[in-house]
Amino acid sequence: MLGGVAGLVAALLALGVAQLVSGLLERPSTPVVSVGGAFVDRTPRWLKEFAIRQFGQHDKQVLLAGVITTVLLGAVVIGVLAARRRWIGYAGVAALGLVAAGAAATRPTATAVDVLPSLVAGAVGVAALALLLRSTPVVHSAGRRSFLVFAGGSAAAAGVAALVGQRLTDRLDVGASRRAVALPKPVSPAPALPAGAQLAVPGITGFYTEPRDFYRVDTALVVPQLSTDDWKLHIHGQVAEERTLRWDDLLAMPMIERDITISCVSNEVGGNLAGNARWLGVPVKSLLQPLRPKTGADQVVSRSVDGMTIGTPTAALLDGRDAMLVVAMNGEPLRPEHGFPVRMVVPGLYGYVSACKWITSMEVTTFAAYDPYWVQRGWKEQAPIKTFSRIDTPKPLSTSTPGTVAVGGVAWAQERGISAVEVRVDEGPWQKAELAASNTKDTWRQWLWRWTGATSGVHTLQVRATDGTGAVQPEKREAPFPSGATGWHSVVVRVG
């Protein structure tokens, strides 16, 4: 029993001191974050999908809490065993420290110092366990008090170390850097929104996505903190000339502003892993073309400060679409979780092949030569966005009053545009929906269909869109893996 307490307290102290060391090093390489990151990279697809379904945007906190709980439970077991055989305890704690150090060393962004928090944690854990076990009252209860005092003191010290470490890490926060950004005026502003781009339908997705509602998808367990002063972009590989830009170089370049809807390949039929924003940035073409990419270099691999790799067809960056290195979203500098200070946005391509956040380098290469992160995990190397339509209102299983029911939602097919949306009730004839006004192919489009004569009962509504090439959204349901979901969205509603 007391062995378990000793193990737990030793682990708390080890984790607290590790937090302190990582704060002093100004590196986010605590044992918990390192092990969590290694876990994310190795998570099988079914588990990742399960976690996103169950925990949504909180999947990262759940994972970190899971790692901490596992370590603490392991430490209790080790402590109990150690009360019998000391060496099991020391070996167990040391092994935990080494596993964490191994995880830290193999992170894609690892530097030599990143193993230190875990190694120190292992050493502190072993020492604390030894001291605690030595004061464990084995024979008579006289030593009980001193053990409890010692254990309580250690736990308190662990808390203080963790708090101080956290404070030190907070210094890395890019809030000040972000507030200091003065956004330039675009040489090419976004065209004015046409009247009627936003339909007045309660419950429909707004044309622009509020920052707090904008979906977030990335593998980063802690949001990377990259200040404008530290930001650099190295463009290299199969180019006649390399170039490294700093923040001021980028800001001095002519910028464009465009409305573009971005979306995630993991979005399910009916899902909301998509958002629309007004982006400000430098056209990738104006940066890349002058460096003269070699012919045949068909892939550009972007790397981020957190080690993500994202491969984009070179053609999509040079073919005249509004591929851009973005610095602002909806009139404000990028939020840290959306890639501050610079990210890429390419209309028409899913995020995992285009939208690198916290971008620090672009390597001109070939698809044959390199598989980026998600391609290594089986996702398709080419991933244009598939035509998608969604019913936002009425909500599934909601009840509407008989008569006229407003059925509305959004549809998107970036780069091709949306030319029609149709709705049907209970597999009856398809009915043309009204489309919101639009002057770009790169955003979603709201639609509305007035369902007149809706009768009492349970009904199924279905939607399908036609893109700008005249292709009708396919009915066949396919899962997001390996290149995006297909199928018509349907909702079951009650009238009456």
Ligand X SMILES: Nc1nc2c(c(=O)[nH]1)N[C@H]1C(S)=C(S)[C@@H](COP(=O)(O)O)O[C@H]1N2
223 interacts with ligand X by CB under 6 A: no
CA distance 132 to 146: 10
Spatial neighbors of 303 by CB under 8 A, at least 6 apart, are: 309, 310, 356, 359, 360, 361, 362, 363
Residue 109 vs 431, nearer CB to ligand X: 109
Helix axes 59-84, 45-55, angle to 10 degrees: 110
Residue 270 vs 351, nearer CB to ligand X: 351
Kindly indicate which of the ranges 41-49, 164-172, 208-216, 344-352 contains the residues binding Mo ion, using the contact rule CB under 5 A.
344-352
Read off φ and ψ for residue 17, nearest 5 degrees: -65, -35
Which tokens go with 266? 């993991």
40 interacts with Mo ion by CB under 5 A: no
Kindly indicate which of the ranges 136-144, 148-156, 349-357, 469-477 contains the residues binding ligand X, using the contact rule CB under 6 A.
349-357
Which tokens go with 114? 């990143």
The residue within the footprint of Mo ion, chosen from 127, 155, 217, 318 (CB under 5 A), is 217
Residue 129 vs 375, nearer CB to ligand X: 375
Shortest reach from residue 37's CB to ligand X, in Å: 11
- Strand runs labelled E in 171-322: 232-237, 243-246, 256-263, 274-283, 299-304, 309-313
**Residues in 255-274 that interact with Mo ion by CB under 5 A:** 264
214 interacts with Mo ion by CB under 5 A: no
495 interacts with ligand X by CB under 6 A: no
The residue within the footprint of ligand X, chosen from 33, 78, 300, 356 (CB under 6 A), is 356
Please state whether 36 falls in left (phi above 0), alpha (psi between -120 and 50) or beta.
Answer: alpha
The residue within the footprint of ligand X, chosen from 99, 190, 217, 479 (CB under 6 A), is 217
363 interacts with ligand X by CB under 6 A: no
Shortest reach from residue 411's CB to ligand X, in Å: 19
Kindly indicate which of the ranges 216-224, 225-233, 286-294, 453-461 contains the residues binding ligand X, using the contact rule CB under 6 A.
216-224
CA distance 317 to 324: 8
- Grouping H, G, I as helix, E, B as strand and the rest as coil, residue 189 is coil
52 interacts with Mo ion by CB under 5 A: no
Beta carbons of 51 and 63 less than 8 angstroms apart:
yes
216 interacts with ligand X by CB under 6 A: yes
Count interface residues toward ligand X (CB under 6 A). 17
90 interacts with Mo ion by CB under 5 A: no
Which tokens go with 199? 């339909």
Residue 137 vs 482, nearer CB to ligand X: 482
- Grouping H, G, I as helix, E, B as strand and the rest as coil, residue 458 is strand
**Residues in 41-100 that interact with ligand X by CB under 6 A:** none
443 interacts with ligand X by CB under 6 A: no
Beta carbons of 461 and 472 less than 8 angstroms apart:
no
Binding flags for ligand X, 167-206, as an x/- string (CB under 6 A)? ----------------------------------------
Query: Dihedral of CA 467/469/472/478: which sign?
Result: negative
Which tokens go with 102? 């191994």
CA 471 vs. chain centroid, Å, equals: 31
CA distance 152 to 138: 19
344 interacts with Mo ion by CB under 5 A: no
Shortest reach from residue 345's CB to ligand X, in Å: 9
**Residues in 296-325 that interact with ligand X by CB under 6 A:** 304, 306, 308
- Nearest CA to 387 out of 465, 463, 446 is that of 465
Q: Of these partners, ligand X, Mo ion, none, which one is at the site of residue 215 (CB under 5 to 8 Å by kind)?
A: ligand X
- Nearest CA to 433 out of 399, 479, 391 is that of 391
Strands 359-365 and 232-237: parallel
Shortest reach from residue 262's CB to ligand X, in Å: 6
Which tokens go with 58? 């909180």
Which tokens go with 69? 């709980």
Count interface residues toward Mo ion (CB under 5 A). 4
**Residues in 190-209 that interact with Mo ion by CB under 5 A:** none
130 interacts with Mo ion by CB under 5 A: no
Shortest reach from residue 344's CB to Mo ion, in Å: 13
340 interacts with ligand X by CB under 6 A: no
Read off φ and ψ for residue 308, nearest 5 degrees: -70, 145
Shortest reach from residue 306's CB to ligand X, in Å: 5
Query: Which positions lie near ligand X, rule CB under 6 A?
Result: 214-219, 264, 304, 306, 308, 338, 351-352, 355-358
